Amino acid sequence: MGRGGLKPGTVKWFDAERGFGFIIPDEEDGKDVWFHVTRVGPANDPEGANSPTITNGDRVLFQAVEHEKGPKALRVVPIAEREDVCPTCGHWL
């Protein structure tokens, strides 16, 4: 697990038109985690000014909470193939 409670996972699918998708956690018994596009971006970019795009199969760090319909991501940080985002904590380098 990364710092700040961020866990690694992979984007299972993302519907850009509707603005949401699901993450498959790396944990063996982890349930798929729902996320909305407004929760995507580096941890130290709260305004989303530099938010990267996200696509199916992207590696991410995420922070989730339990919701009545299942796990929901509070924050999603793309990390795959990005040299400008720390793979441990999700901050811009």
Q: What average pLDDT is seen over the chain?
A: 79
Note the pLDDT of residue 72.
94
Note the pLDDT of residue 18.
92
CATH number for the domain that contains residue 74: 2.40.50.140
Does the residue 91 lie in any domain? no
Indicate the pTM of the whole model.
0.74
Does the residue 43 lie in any domain? yes
Please compute the mean of the pLDDT values over residues 40-55 and round it to a whole number.
63
Does the residue 22 lie in any domain? yes
Separation CA 31–CA 38 (nearest Å) = 21
Q: Are 2 and 75 in contact (CB under 8 A)?
A: no
pLDDT at 43 over 60: no
Does the residue 83 lie in any domain? no
Q: What is the pLDDT of residues 3-22, one digit of tens each?
A: 457 889 999 999 989 989 99
Does the residue 19 lie in any domain? yes
